[in-house]
């Protein structure tokens, strides 16, 4: 029997996937943490139930021990000294004393009660199992661990630049994901994350003066108070245990500070948004305004990109900029209103692109950073008075992409994000080129189809691990077009777009236009003809391999021309307008393609009486 057939028999058909028969592993974490705020250390007990939903037998498991990255000599430290445009925040690590650095060590571990052998390799724990976990079976792993919170450098740590005591992201032994491509035990050297979907029950015992926020729901508000469940003030005892629970997430973050103000905004009956920020007269009013913007923000994103799946979200001051986590974000809080709202919009959209659509951020960072950039730019445009269906120009992102495409440091978007030669190439590929992936896709399939693709992709892939082929498959189904070539060119190569108006042969009653594919990237072509009477006609020339074309966009006067077989470097089009009636021609008039040389996209016809007009270039 083929593998596919076996899978169909045992797991049934779930969703249409580019990954063959789709399955995913599952975890249930229970953790008890005792936190020492004097030494910035903690000890923990973890019980993890691992459900092997894969068709494979698991004989070994891996855990991430992220805090071990924040030590002199770690891979993160070495890497930061060996990349040309390094992240200066990380250079502090090599100077950390034993009190300042971070660590996370596993002291003992069992599988179904039997002691296990394990080995720490930097930020990865390698665990050989006592008994293999067979397909469809589960195992219970128990461990004791201890950790020290490093001084804040990147994402997590203690006492960040704004004085937030604890930004506890990537803080516990976190099981690596095993998927259709096997294990993903990537050492932590600076980029982002990937996790196993599951449920968390986390009990944190800490000095009762600290206000906590984080992933999941606080289940004992009456004990912890600090504004949860309507209970204000301090808990009665010196230390208190916070009970957090979260379901269907792939990570768990928390943060703590004594000076947090805690505000709750009710967006609707199914959603409370918690704001936790340090009391600071200079910035409190910005947070007040942010609280007022939150309902409008959620309502819009729910309407345009699909409904937020949790009943709670927390915007928490902490970290070093903005970073997304399940049901929460850590952002810096002492900033302008514009900055505060901007970073919140971006991080909130990550609740769609990564916290619901859990792509592997190390392999496909553009699927969350790029899609988040695209949708947050649209959302910010709406919040600042734009049309609800509007799409702003992506001028800045487009300029960055062109800059990278012309740079010697350009690499395909398919490079693993830790392995880029230059940090800026990662940044542009993940954020700008990822956003333009969608913007340019709207040029190919039409904006309405793109919006529908994003909604359907969200509904179909939430709480799973989508891969590049999966959004493309949804786009194909929505548009009825064949689009796999687009990923091949855009993601897996550094090919360059350049379409040109090569020649125009004018007559009194018609005009022949010769277009050229001067670059090595194939695309359909929008050719806008502006006539001297002021009217505008838009020709769309689909690629033949698309087996169709996009629908008419924005009620434009649109004419669909014969498809372009991509092997031909040129394409001829005869338009029924005499040369004296034509004012100008423009390829990609809305600037939605990454066309490197735009000078040859436009042509003004400069003739008064030319019965015969020839321009060749």
Q: Which residues bind Zn ion (CB under 5 A)?
A: 369, 372
> Closest approach of Cβ 517 to Zn ion, in Å?
34
In this complex, which beta carbon is closest to Zn ion, that of residue 93 or of residue 367? 367
Contact 27, 52 (CB under 8 A): no
Of the candidates 79, 48, 344, 311, the residue with the CA atom closest to the CA atom of residue 198: 48
> Closest approach of Cβ 251 to Zn ion, in Å?
15
3 state SS of 469: helix
In this complex, which beta carbon is closest to Zn ion, that of residue 7 or of residue 315? 315
In this complex, which beta carbon is closest to Zn ion, that of residue 352 or of residue 490? 352
> Closest approach of Cβ 482 to Zn ion, in Å?
31
In this complex, which beta carbon is closest to Zn ion, that of residue 251 or of residue 476? 251
Q: How far apart are CA 587 and CA 539, in angstroms?
A: 9
> Closest approach of Cβ 497 to Zn ion, in Å?
26
Identify the bridge partners of residue 143 per DSSP, sorted by sequence position.
46, 109
In this complex, which beta carbon is closest to Zn ion, that of residue 160 or of residue 372? 372
> Closest approach of Cβ 192 to Zn ion, in Å?
9
> Closest approach of Cβ 331 to Zn ion, in Å?
11
**Token digits for 454?**
């994003």
In this complex, which beta carbon is closest to Zn ion, that of residue 251 or of residue 369? 369
3 state SS of 276: strand
With a CB cutoff of 8 Å and minimum separation 6, the contacts of 493 are 412
Burial profile 518-545: b = 16 or more Cβ within 10 angstroms, e = fewer: bbebbbbbbbbbbeeeeeebbbbbbbbb
> Closest approach of Cβ 438 to Zn ion, in Å?
15
318 CB-contact burial (10 Å; exposed 0-12 / middle 13-18 / buried 19+): buried
Q: How far apart are CA 452 and CA 465, in angstroms?
A: 20
> Closest approach of Cβ 258 to Zn ion, in Å?
29
* Three-state DSSP string of 327-373: CEEEECCCCCHHHHHHHHHHHHHCCCCCCCECCCCCCCHHHHHHHHH
In this complex, which beta carbon is closest to Zn ion, that of residue 223 or of residue 361? 361
Q: How far apart are CA 251 and CA 175, in angstroms?
A: 10
Q: How far apart are CA 421 and CA 237, in angstroms?
A: 53
- The CA angle 15-17-20, to the nearest 5 degrees, is 110
> Closest approach of Cβ 429 to Zn ion, in Å?
13
With a CB cutoff of 8 Å and minimum separation 6, the contacts of 182 are none
Strands 271-278 and 260-268: antiparallel
In this complex, which beta carbon is closest to Zn ion, that of residue 154 or of residue 502? 154
Of the candidates 209, 223, 206, 219, the residue with the CA atom closest to the CA atom of residue 245: 219
In this complex, which beta carbon is closest to Zn ion, that of residue 148 or of residue 372? 372
Of the candidates 279, 383, 278, the residue with the CA atom closest to the CA atom of residue 331: 278
> Closest approach of Cβ 334 to Zn ion, in Å?
20
In this complex, which beta carbon is closest to Zn ion, that of residue 141 or of residue 394? 394
> Closest approach of Cβ 430 to Zn ion, in Å?
8
In this complex, which beta carbon is closest to Zn ion, that of residue 194 or of residue 564? 194
């Amino acid at each position: 029997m083929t593998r596919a057939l076996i899978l169909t028999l045992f797991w049934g058909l779930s969703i249409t996937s580019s990954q063959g028969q789709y399955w995913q592993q599952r975890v249930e974490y229970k953790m008890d943490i005792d936190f020492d705020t004097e030494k910035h250390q903690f000890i923990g007990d973890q019980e993890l139930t691992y459900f092997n939903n894969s068709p494979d037998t698991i004989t070994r498991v891996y855990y991430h021990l992220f805090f071990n990255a924040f030590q002199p000599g770690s891979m993160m430290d070495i890497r930061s000294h060996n990349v040309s445009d390094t992240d200066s925040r990380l250079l502090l690590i090599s100077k950390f004393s034993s009190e300042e650095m971070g660590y996370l060590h596993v002291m003992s571990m069992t599988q179904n009660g039997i002691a296990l052998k394990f080995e720490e390799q930097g930020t990865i724990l390698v665990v050989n199992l006592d008994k293999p976990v067979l397909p469809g079976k589960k195992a219970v792993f128990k461990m004791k661990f201890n950790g020290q919170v490093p001084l804040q450098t990147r994402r997590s740590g203690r006492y960040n630049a704004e004085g937030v005591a604890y930004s506890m992201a990537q803080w516990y032994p976190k099981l690596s994901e095993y998927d259709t491509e096997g294990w993903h035990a990537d050492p932590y050297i600076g980029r982002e994350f990937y996790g196993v979907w599951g449920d968390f029950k986390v009990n944190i015992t800490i000095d009762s003066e600290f206000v906590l926020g984080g992933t999941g729901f606080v289940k004992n508000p009456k004990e912890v108070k600090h504004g949860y469940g309507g209970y204000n003030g301090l808990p009665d005892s010196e230390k208190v245990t916070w009970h957090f629970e979260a379901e269907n997430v792939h990570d768990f973050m928390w943060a703590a500070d004594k000076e947090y103000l805690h505000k709750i905004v009710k967006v609707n009956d199914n959603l409370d948004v918690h704001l936790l920020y340090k009391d600071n007269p200079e910035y409190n009013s910005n947070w007040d305004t942010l609280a007022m913007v939150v309902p409008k923000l959620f309502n819009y994103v729910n309407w345009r990109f699909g409904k937020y799946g949790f009943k709670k979200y927390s915007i928490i001051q902490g970290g070093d900029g903005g970073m997304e986590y399940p049901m929460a974000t850590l952002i810096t809080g002492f900033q302008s209103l514009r900055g505060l709202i901007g970073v919140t919009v971006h991080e909130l959209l990550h609740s769609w692109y990564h916290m619901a659509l859990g792509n592997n951020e190390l392999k496909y960072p553009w699927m969350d950073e790029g899609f988040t950039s695209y949708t947050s730019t649209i959302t910010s445009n709406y919040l600042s008075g734009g049309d609800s269906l509007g799409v702003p120009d992506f001028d800045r992102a487009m300029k960055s992409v062109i800059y990278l495409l012309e740079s010697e440091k350009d690499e395909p978007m398919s490079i693993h994000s830790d392995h880029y030669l230059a940090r800026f190439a990662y940044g542009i590929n993940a954020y700008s080129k990822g956003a333009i992936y969608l913007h340019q896709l709207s040029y190919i399939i039409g904006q309405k189809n793109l919006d529908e693709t994003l909604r359907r992709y969200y509904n179909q892939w939430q709480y799973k691990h989508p891969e590049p082929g999966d959004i493309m498959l949804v786009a194909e189904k929505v548009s009825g077009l064949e689009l796999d070539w687009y990923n091949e060119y855009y993601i897996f190569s550094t090919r360059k777009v350049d379409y040109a108006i090569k020649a125009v042969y004018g007559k009194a009653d018609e005009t022949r236009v010769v277009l050229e594919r001067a670059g090595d990237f194939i695309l359909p072509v929008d050719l806008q003809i502006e006539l001297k009477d002021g009217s505008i006609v838009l020709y769309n020339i689909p690629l033949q391999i698309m087996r169709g074309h996009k629908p008419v966009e924005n009620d434009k006067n649109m004419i669909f021309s014969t498809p372009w077989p991509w092997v031909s470097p040129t394409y001829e089009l005869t338009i029924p307008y005499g040369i004296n009636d034509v004012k100008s021609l423009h390829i990609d008039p809305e600037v939605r393609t990454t066309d490197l040389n735009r000078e040859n996209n436009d042509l003004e016809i400069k003739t008064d009486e030319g019965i015969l007009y020839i321009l060749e270039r």
